[in-house]
Structures are given as C-alpha cells and as structure tokens.
Amino acid sequence: MHEMSLAEGILRIIEDQAAERGFDRVLRVRVEVGRLAGVEVAALRFSFDAVMNNSVAESAVLEIIDTPGQGWCLDCGTSVEISALYDACPLCGGYRVQATGGMDMRVLDLEVDTADPQPSNSGAPAR
Ligand SMILES: [Zn+2]
C-alpha cells in the first residue's frame, strides 16, 4: 500500500523535526494532500495511526488539508479547477487539460508539546 510509505515519510519528517527542535510529543500534524496526488485519504489515516505507534506522534491528530487540482486547458487558454487527472475542462468540456497543481502531498506544520516551552511574549509583562 503506497499510503504506508507516505506515512513513513511523514514520520521521518517528524523525527527530524523532533531532533532539531527538541520536542517530545506531537499533538497535531497538518498534511496538505492535492486532489490529483493519488492519495487515498482513508488509507493514509489508517497507515498514519499504524506508523506513528510508539513514536513522538503516537497520539497526534492527522489533519488533512484537501487542495483542489489545477489544470491548464489548451482550448480555453485558462487555468481551471479539476478533480481528477484527465478530467474534462469544466468550461468547454474539452479533454486537452494539463495538470498544473494539486499533485503533491506535503507536511505543512506540526503542533507540538514541548517539555521545556519557549518563553512567550503574551501574558505576563516583560519585567
Ligand atoms: Zn476548456
């Protein structure tokens, strides 16, 4: 299952970040999934839970940001929104649409719980 290797890729990013920033618990992981990326969200969620087991992200919530597919219609000369590769152009119904966006999956950010939190500027006065 290809979603399993995607989840493993997410875990590697999380572990690199954990080593770099020194957090020990991840609360939330935001992942952007393009509609043309060929990722099955249900399978990704399942794989995520399996892969994050016994990691810093064991109890993390996976938040998936669904981004629309973008295409360029050669007939209209216009950028259009498409929901699948090889979709017809929503404007003219033509099939000469080249996918230009929404083909990737990437980790946007992590919400983490640090054991030793950074001092914050909000709240108490500075002195
Ligand atoms: Zn068109």
pLDDT at 88: 96
Cα(71) to centroid(ligand 1), Å: 10
Per-residue pLDDT, averaged over 18-34, amounts to 96
Per-residue pLDDT, averaged over 29-38, amounts to 96
Express each pLDDT in 109-122 by its tens digit: 999 998 665 555 55
Per-residue pLDDT, averaged over 23-43, amounts to 96
Whether 88 is in a domain gets the answer no
Per-residue pLDDT, averaged over 2-9, amounts to 96
d(CA 96, CA 73): 6
Whether 25 is in a domain gets the answer yes
Whether 39 is in a domain gets the answer yes
Whether 38 is in a domain gets the answer yes
Neighbours of ion ligand 1 (CB under 5 A): 73, 75-76, 89, 91-92, 94
Q: Work out how many domains the chain is built from and give that number.
A: 1
Whether 119 is in a domain gets the answer no
Instruction: Please give the share of the chain, as a percent, with pLDDT higher than 90.
Output: 86
Residue 51 belongs to a domain with what CATH number? 3.30.2320.50
Report whether pLDDT(53) > 60. yes
pLDDT at 25: 96
Give phi and psi for 107, each to the nearest 5: -80, 120
pLDDT at 127: 59
Are 89 and 95 a contacting pair, CB within 8 Å?
A: yes
Cα(37) to centroid(ligand 1), Å: 22
Whether 21 is in a domain gets the answer yes
Cα(89) to centroid(ligand 1), Å: 5
Are 67 and 33 a contacting pair, CB within 8 Å?
A: yes
Report whether pLDDT(124) > 60. no
Question: Which range of residues forms the domain containing residue 50?
Answer: 2-68+102-113
Per-residue pLDDT, averaged over 94-111, amounts to 96
Give phi and psi for 85, each to the nearest 5: -60, 145
Whether 20 is in a domain gets the answer yes
Whether 122 is in a domain gets the answer no
DSSP 12: H
Cα(35) to centroid(ligand 1), Å: 19
pLDDT at 114: 80
